[in-house]
Amino acid sequence: MLGLMHAARTNGGEEVVTVTVAEGVHRYTYGECAARCRKLASALERWGMQQGDRIATLAWNGYRHLELWYGVAGAGAVVHTINPRLFKEQIVYIANHAEDRLIFADLSFVALLEDVWPELTSVEAVVFLCDEAHMPKTKLPKVMCYETLLAGGSDDYVWPMFDERTAAGLCYTSGTTGHPKGVLYTHRSSVLHAYAAALPDAFDACARDIMLPVVPMFHANAWGMPHVAPLVGAKLVMPGPYLDGKSLQKLIVDEGVTLTAGVPTVWLGLLAHLQATGTNLGGLRLAVIGGAAAPVSMIETFERDYGVRVAHAWGMTEMNPLGTVNGPTRATAQLTGEARWAMEAKQGRAIFGIEMKITDDDGRELARDGKVSGHLLVRGPWVVERYYKAAQPAVDADGWFDTGDIATLDTQGYMQITDRAKDIIKSGGEWISSIDLENAAVAHPKVAEAAVIALPHPKWTERPLLVVVPASGQNPSKDEILSFLETQVAKWWLPDDIAFVDEIPHTATGKIQKVALRERFKDYKLPTV
Ligand code: ADP
């Protein structure tokens, strides 16, 4: 709450701009936003919301979602951001597990809610994020209108005081295996995270910035951007559901966006649109790319063709979510050519507050030499200690959390993810990085997207299969891709085969769904077997 109140007092005239689902572009100031948060908190208390209650959202990035973040958490309750792209069973599971009392939903999710409603065990009503004129026709038995609810609140609401370790937010991991797991964020962890994220070598955010979180607020807190913007007093631009290249380009130019963040998949769409239309990115100066490895070719295109610096970032739901951001030091800023791209492709240095180490399978710490890779462990004030309602802690006796990622750490502190522990290819006792191979493959001009999975091999245990989506109108041959890869990676890393597909499946957070790909290719026979 502090961040927003600070913005309202010190930068109250600065704008929050939203592209809404059905009501056009909405603009107001931080001052007006803070006043509506007070009304919302008061209205929810009148409705019966208690401190500690879980209040869910199924919503795009927008001003009402922002009001919920600050209004609900400021009143001492917990905002549970549900990812609408999860499977129906997962949404039912997490809403019931969290015991959500209300779901605040955008109009895009009427059908989804009608579908899950009969299986929800704790939700008392759905509140649609619109005014009365836009209320949907629905079979849902208990619905309310957000603006009507808000109108019943008082302007004189006084924010309660409570311990800084009170829960403020709840987010579930997408759970590629087993049930999704909940991570609670406290006011303390979110504020400390926002301080660190705002720093010059991280988001480099200040009051003169115009920030566009493309990453959704339901994907690991939009990486803290909606906390950072009010904290520094930057203008905040919310894209609503419009995340295609054309809409993003227009929004970036029209609103003068200087700073943005999102996963590689959305930038693929944006760059394809720019290349097809010859348009540009106006005054955009920094794009934070994370959630999945940013291909070197993408970093190069942003910087060389559009003059936009890329800050490659890594984190996870369990970390609020930021762990590292790639910013140049005095030494690395001198690098040019290939060496520079290789440095920028790394996931970056730990932001202040996060400690990192890599270990072998027996938990012994490994060298920070930029070569040897191991299990990446993290520790810090915004790293999960215990999953929500879990019996066992999520960290070891010394507080270290095993991220499930495999990484290298170099002498200058730069971390590079080489794989997820479960995706790495174990070939003849050595590891092949599926991420490095994918990056190498997407650098080929005829490749739109690439994924590498391990297939069983009688001699080598596992060998890589490269799955490729050809660029539009292209029909690359296996040989031309293999000979291209030969110039990029060690010979023994070369995939044993290449499969061409129309589409690669993605998870709810836009990552390649390796589990689904492994299922699809489980009977595939490598030619060398
Ligand atoms: P979900 O699976 O729900 O999307 P997270 O967003 O928490 O969960 O995913 C965190 C994981 O995403 C990390 O452990 C890591 O494997 C991967 N990841 C995040 N950022 C990057 C990055 N820049 N490069 C490579 N992998 C990344």
* 41 within a domain of the structure (yes/no): yes
d(CA 408, ligand 1 centre) in Å: 16
Q: Are 406 and 419 in contact (CB under 8 A)?
A: yes
* 499 within a domain of the structure (yes/no): yes
Parent domain of 515: 425-520
- In a 3-state reduction of DSSP, which class is residue 270? helix
* 125 within a domain of the structure (yes/no): yes
> So what's the pLDDT on residue 334?
97
CB atoms within 10 A of CB 407: 23
> So what's the pLDDT on residue 113?
98
Return the CATH number at 7.
Answer: 3.40.50.12780
Q: What is the pTM of this model?
A: 0.91
d(CA 314, ligand 1 centre) in Å: 7
> So what's the pLDDT on residue 6?
80
- In a 3-state reduction of DSSP, which class is residue 237? strand
Task: Quickly list DSSP for 271-287.
Answer: HHHHHHHT---TT--EE
d(CA 241, ligand 1 centre) in Å: 22
Q: Which token pair is 480? A: 């031309």
* 82 within a domain of the structure (yes/no): yes
Return the CATH number at 451.
Answer: 3.30.300.30
For residues 497 and 526, give the distance between their C-alpha atoms in angstroms, rounded to a whole number: 6
> So what's the pLDDT on residue 208?
97
* 392 within a domain of the structure (yes/no): no
Q: Which token pair is 477? A: 């041959």
Q: Which of 240, 268, 300 is the last residue of a domain?
A: 240
Helix ranges restricted to H, 233-381 = 245-255, 264-277, 296-300, 306, 337-345
pLDDT in tens, the chain (529 residues): 677 778 888 888 899 999 999 999 999 999 999 999 999 999 999 999 999 999 999 999 999 999 999 999 999 999 999 999 888 999 999 999 999 999 999 999 999 999 999 999 999 999 999 999 999 999 999 999 999 999 999 999 999 999 999 999 999 997 666 789 999 999 999 999 999 999 999 999 999 999 999 999 999 999 999 999 999 999 999 999 999 999 999 999 999 999 999 999 899 999 999 999 999 999 999 999 999 999 999 999 999 999 999 999 999 999 999 999 999 999 999 999 999 999 999 999 999 999 999 999 899 999 999 999 999 999 999 999 999 999 999 999 999 999 999 999 999 999 999 998 889 998 988 889 999 899 999 999 999 999 999 999 988 899 999 999 999 899 999 999 999 999 989 899 999 999 999 999 988 878 888 989 999 999 998 886 5
CA distances from 81 to 58, 59, 91, 317 (A): 7, 8, 11, 12
For residues 303 and 285, give the distance between their C-alpha atoms in angstroms, rounded to a whole number: 9
Q: Known catalytic residues?
A: 173, 318, 426, 431
Q: Which residues on neighbouring strands pair with residue 169, listed in sequence order? A: 79, 185
Question: Which uninterrupted H or E stretch holds 35?
Answer: helix 30-47
Q: Which of 240, 264, 293 is the last residue of a domain?
A: 240
Ligand 1 pocket test: which of 382, 405, 433, 513 has the largest number of ligand atoms within 8 Å of its C-beta? 405
User: 3-state SS of 412-481?
Assistant: CCEEEEEEECCCCEEECCEEECHHHHHHHHHCCCCEEEEEEEEEEECCCEEEEEEEEEECCCCCCCHHHH
* 301 within a domain of the structure (yes/no): no
Shortest-distance Cα residue to atom 9 of ligand 1? 316
d(CA 275, ligand 1 centre) in Å: 28
Q: Which of 240, 270, 303 is the last residue of a domain?
A: 240
Q: For residue 415, give the nearest of 425, 406, 423 by alpha carbon.
A: 406
Q: Which token pair is 284? A: 């955009």
- In a 3-state reduction of DSSP, which class is residue 406? strand
* 15 within a domain of the structure (yes/no): yes
Structural domain count, the chain: 2
> So what's the pLDDT on residue 223?
97
| Residue pointed to by tokens 């019996």 | 391
Q: For the chain, report the end-to-end CA distance as a whole number of angstroms.
A: 60
Please enumerate in sequence order all residues whose Cβ is within 8 A of that of 259, keeping only pairs 6 or more positions apart, or say none: 203, 204, 205, 209, 210, 211, 212, 234, 284, 285, 286, 288
| Ligand 1, atom nearest to 83 Cα | 3
Ligand 1 contacts (CB < 6 A) are 173-174, 220, 290-293, 312-314, 316-317, 321, 347, 403-405, 417, 420, 507, 509, 511
* 313 within a domain of the structure (yes/no): no
Q: Which token pair is 31? A: 């001052």
| Ligand 1, atom nearest to 319 Cα | 7
